[in-house]
Chains A and B, each alone.
Chain A
């Protein structure tokens, strides 16, 4: 009796499942909705970046409130991957196979994106504006469906190298970098940019792990190596320590700070505005705590957006402007799609951004993509901290293209 009932249930289950698993014609698109998929680290060691996902969700809500895109509301589906590659694989498969999203957008993290890289290209799902600065996302020949977003780390490293070669010919360089992809990418950029001179100029390299409580010991070693140029590739938490400690032990090198930690409120202020004088970084966005943008319309629009749609979000967290801008780019792509939101057309339009400006990017920076250029933002500008704000200097630099 039990066995028969059990078998009946089984048959019913099979029938139901078979009926419900037919794939949609245009995945993720209905008459009035587009599904966009995303994974972000909302928990775990990288959870500070989870605010990007929240800012994006808030922006899409704004877009929907204003009528959506060409009559379609954006349904932003985001899952937590805890910065773990297997979890990212699972969640992305869920997005692609179960939720059947039209495109993946701003998936965050290098190891997580590496894990899904092959899969999304095999499944032919647009993998757009990934939130990582690694260089490998701009490879349309091998991975046509994947597209990067921010100026990549190697480019930034090369920019600093060019400056050093030009302005500090007798440089003795000390490098501190995080012992992972992000740190190594920056380091590679600098060393590549220095070329032959690297052997002579780099006097000491030190690494650290995200789990280290302090990096004081590394700073002491760098000072004692006699370096007069310091390439600081650290995330905000450690950047503060590095700047403060260098100042405290009386070490005053020409200090290059990576863009990731250039925030005034989260890094420079806690480290000490005085200690941060003279820091050089490379920017592509308007720094949200920099007083020079107070009366800038783009900045004011962003603040208004945060207050209305993401009141829990911190107004001094650059990540929130980062997510906001990326979401604007995605909206632009969708707008360009007209009424054809097929995956192929979404990719086509993503490859068709011509001289688009976004309000929170530095004035003059234009976003350009093409079927052979999957790096949307390639311009940045050097800036020096004068004790109060980042003063842009020099010209807007184009990415030095690798041959």
Chain B
């Protein structure tokens, strides 16, 4: 019984990591209908900037806030400068541009910071919390908490502010939005900025666990996709929940289904994606898209 609970707890911890990156992916998709393959790398690069600031001596939360601001502006600029020229090109062209961005960011991170992994500090204590025979990591709980706070803030932003409303309108119906005076182009840019910010938070929460190196997010990206698929690409809350579920399932299957064991853990995650896509493509919480003829 203890093993079960411990594995669930560990799974929730890992799942929180997946969920935060999945949140960023879903955000960009909702705002721009583009799956940004460079999302993970943008998060890594932001985390490296945070690392530089921390190394220079800034206190943690100052560096944290500064990184969020830089990430927001960076994401916004990337959309305006890089994506704007190909906005009307076929969707695959945009995908290739995103891939180009991914490769550039990865290479530049490696060049500036070298490929050796760096420890990244956590704002939460590193002593484990013990409840009976079960151990919780303070950082895992903290990171999950931060993700949930972020989620709530985003929800409030989209629901209750004018800007949020304008962004939703721009994503749903660009033509009518323009007629209402909404600068659709800039709404896309803000969408990218917000997603970059969310990604940066994810990166800074993940780095203390998996260590900072240019390829930090590659492994996680896969699980993030699984999480977003499970939860639904149109539902931010679903993405986070999807992450938690994926984390737990991954651990439980690895422990209790012996022929899979730990050698096929990744395959399990992917089988999950396939099953969800076949049975319910819009995910557990997403809205099914209806194509008008």
Contacts and interface: CB of A to CB of B under 8 A. Distances in A.
Q: Is any CB of A less than 8 Å from a CB of B in the complex? A: yes
Nearest to B128: A248
A213 B214 contact: no
A299 interface: no
Nearest to A313: B114
A211 B116 contact: no
Nearest to B223: A213
Contact of A43 (B14, B17, B110): B110
Contacts of B161: none
Interface stretch (A96-104, A116-124, A202-210, A276-284): A202-210
B117 A48 contact: yes
B262 A208 contact: yes
A216 B10 CA distance: 7
Given A179-B263, A312-B114, A48 B223 contact: no
B209 A249 contact: no
Interface string A214-246: 101110110010000000000011001100000
Contacts of A150: none
Contacts of A51: 114-116
Nearest to A265: B119
Given A50-B115, A317-B116, A248 B137 contact: yes
Interface in B152-189: none
Contacts of B54: none
A237 B213 CA distance: 10
A391 B3 CA distance: 36
A232 to B, nearest CB: 15
Contacts of B80: none
B262 A237 contact: no
A319 B117 CA distance: 13
Nearest to A271: B119
Given A213-B223, A221-B3, A249-B128, A45 B218 contact: yes
Contacts of A218: 254, 262
A51 B116 CA distance: 9
A209 B268 CA distance: 13
B223 A217 contact: no
Interface of A: 43-45, 47-48, 50-51, 179, 206-214, 216-218, 220-221, 224, 236-237, 240-241, 248-250, 266, 269-270, 272, 312, 314, 317, 319
9 contacts: A48-B213, A212-B265, A217-B11, A218-B254, A220-B10, A221-B3, A221-B7, A241-B210, A319-B116
Interface of B: 2-3, 6-7, 10-11, 13-14, 17-18, 106-107, 110, 114-117, 119, 126, 128, 135, 137, 206, 209-211, 213-215, 218-220, 222-223, 250-251, 254-255, 261-263, 265-266
